[in-house]
Amino acid sequence: MKILVINAGSSSLKYRLFDMDRQTVLCAGIVERIGEAMGQLVHKIRPDQSGEERFRVDETFPTHKEALAEAVNFITDERIGVIRDAGEIAAIGHRVVQGGELFKAPCLVTEQVKEGIHSLIPLAPLHNPGHLIGIETAQSLFPHAPSIAVFDTEFHQTMPPKAFMYGLPHYMYEQLSVRRYGFHGTSHRYVVKRAAGFLQRPLEELNFISCHLGSGSSIAAVRNGKSVDTSMGMTPLAGLLMGTRCGDIDPAIIEYLMANTGMTAKEVDKILNKDSGLKGICGTNDVRDILEMRERHNPMGILAFDMLVYSVKKYIGAYYAILGGVDGLIFTAGIGENCPILRAEVCRGFEHMGILLDFEANERWGEDVRLISREDSPVPVFVVHTNEELEIALATEQVLLAQSGR
C-alpha cells in the first residue's frame, strides 16, 4: 500500500510518499513560495538514506494545485519516478494542527469534516486554512484516493478537565472554547509507542514523560499510554522556553507592554511568537550557535542555555509528581535528539528520582531508539527519533482498514 502524507501551509506544501508494506519512504519534497512570483520545489528520492537523489525546480506555482501536480510529476516520472502513476496511491494523510474538541481521532475527510476544520480556524488562523487548501487540492488531483485527517491535538484529548481548563470564567470555555489543547501530539504518540516497543511491554501499562524539544517544544505526561497533561496550551505559545516563543509568562505583561510602549496587541503577539525565547535572550534561536556562545563564556549564551534547561527540568519534575511513577523519560525532535549536553544537564539532579544517565551512552549516536541511562537506573532514559509523517501514514492506514472492515 502506498500512502502520500501532506502537510500544507498557507504558501508551502510538504509531502512524503510511504510504502506501508515495508514502512519505508520512497520520496519526499517541499514546495515553497506558492503564489509568489517565483517558487521552488525540492524533491528527494530515498530521503535520508544512502543513495539519496535530490532534484530542484524553480518556477511559478500560482496555487497549491500546481504545486502538488508538479510533485506528482516527479513521483511518477518515467525516468526517476518511484511509482508508475498516481493511481497507485491508496490514500492521502493530512496533518491538521487544530482539531479542537470536535476531532478525537484520525478520520476520513467528508464535507462535514471540512466544515468542522473550517469552524476551528479562529483557534488556528495560521494553520487550518492551509490544511483545508491541501485537502481540497488532494481531493481534486486524487479523486480515487480517500483523504484522512490526522490532528496534532487529538492525542491530548484524553486530558482530564483539571488539566485542560484555565482559571477563567467558565463561559469562556463554553462559548469561546478557551482551554488547553496541546500540540505535537503526533510526535508524542509515535515516540511513546517506540519506547514501549523497546521495553517489550504494552503501552497501556506504561507511564512516560515525553520531551519534544525543537524550535517549538512541548512536554507531555503520558499515563497508561494516554496523555494526561502537556505544556503547550490553547496555542503553541505556552509552556517551555522555545526558539522564538516566550513560553509561560505572566499574562499581565501583555497589557503592560501595550500601555508603556504604544504597541498594539498584534505587535506584542508577534514579539511573543517570533522574537522571544532563545532568540530574544541571546539573539539566536539556533542551539548550535548558543553552545558556541556558551563555550566562549558569552553571558547571554550561557543564560539562554540555562533558561532552556531550567524550563525543561521544571516540567519534568511537575509531571513526575502528577504521574506518581515513571517508566521512561524520552527525548526527541531536533534538540532532544541531537544535543547531548542539554540532555545531560536536564537529567543532572534527578538522581534521587531514579534517573541515572549513562554519560558515555548519552554522547553516542545510533539507532532510532536508544537507551542512554545506566543499567541500574530505575527510570530508563531514551532518545527516540521522531517520525510524525510515518505516524500520520500509520494512522491513515488504520482508518482505511477500519473503513474496509478489516
> Residue 270's CB: how many other CB atoms inside 10 A?
13
Query: Where do the domains of the chain lie, and which CATH numbers do they carry?
Result: 2-151 (3.30.420.40), 201-388 (3.30.420.40)
Taking only Cα atoms into account, the Rg of the chain, rounded to an integer number of angstroms, comes to 22
> pTM score, two decimals?
0.93
Q: Are 3 and 393 in contact (CB under 8 A)?
A: yes
Cell digits of residue 151: 490532528
Sheet containing strand 89-96, edge to edge, reads 53-59, 39-45, 24-32, 13-19, 2-8, 89-96, 147-151, 107-108
DSSP for 253-295, please give it: HHHHHHHHH---HHHHHHHHHHS-HHHHHHS---HHHHHHHHH
Mean pLDDT by 10 residues, the chain (406 residues): 91 93 92 92 88 90 91 91 90 94 94 95 90 92 93 96 98 96 96 97 97 96 98 96 96 97 95 96 96 97 98 98 96 96 97 96 91 97 96 95 77
Distances, alpha carbon 156 to alpha carbons 133, 159, 243, 347, in Å: 25, 6, 23, 25
Pairwise CA distance, residues 237 & 231, whole Å: 10
For residue 128 the three cell numbers come to 487550518
Nearest to 220 by CA among 151, 155, 123: 155
Q: Is the CB of residue 236 less than 8 Å from the CB of residue 210?
A: no
- At 406 the pLDDT is 64
- Contact between 197 and 169 under an 8 Å Cβ cutoff? The reply is no
Measured distance CA(283)–CA(44) in Å, rounded: 33
Question: Which residues does 207 contact at the CB level (< 8 Å), separation at least 6?
Answer: 221, 222, 223, 224, 323, 324, 325, 326, 327, 328
Cell of 227: 496523555
What does the alpha-carbon distance between residue 265 and residue 180 come to, in Å, rounded to a whole number? 21
Give the catalytic positions in this structure.
152
Which distant-in-sequence residues (6+ apart) come within 8 Å of 263 by Cβ? 257, 271
